[in-house]
Amino acid sequence: MVCLGKNSENICLMYIVWVRPQIFVAASSAVLINCQNNKKLLGRVRAFDSHCNMVLENVREMWTEVPKTGKGKKKALPVNKDRFISKMFLRGDSVIIVLKNPK
């Protein structure tokens, strides 16, 4: 992938989201989506539109939480959490980046 211009991140993101979705849907391949709420979604794209709204299947939502501790206690270690969602609609304005076939 080639990124050009001052805002190379924006151009790269537009390339991934606007040029590649046809491959995602046609192959129904796995995608990893980073969202603005610091959660990651791993699933299959079933449909999408020009706003990056997506219908996803077999989604694994992953995030990290830091447990709260009282005063004077040791700092708690972050805990990785996840959950399974069979079908979901993802609003496009929360999408940061879409990666095809994550390994």
- Specify the amino acid at residue 6: K
Of the CATH numbers 3.40.50.300, 1.20.1300.10, 2.30.30.100, 1.10.10.10, which one belongs to the domain with range 8-67+75-100? 2.30.30.100
**Contacts of residue 53, Cβ cutoff 8 Å, sequence gap at least 6:** 89, 90, 91, 92
Instruction: Output the pTM of the full model.
Output: 0.69
**Contacts of residue 15, Cβ cutoff 8 Å, sequence gap at least 6:** 1, 3
Distance from C-alpha of 94 to C-alpha of 25, rounded to nearest angstrom: 19
Distance from C-alpha of 41 to C-alpha of 28, rounded to nearest angstrom: 15
pLDDT in tens, the chain (103 residues): 344 444 444 444 444 444 455 544 544 778 999 999 999 999 999 988 888 899 999 999 999 998 888 777 788 889 999 999 999 999 999 999 999 877 6
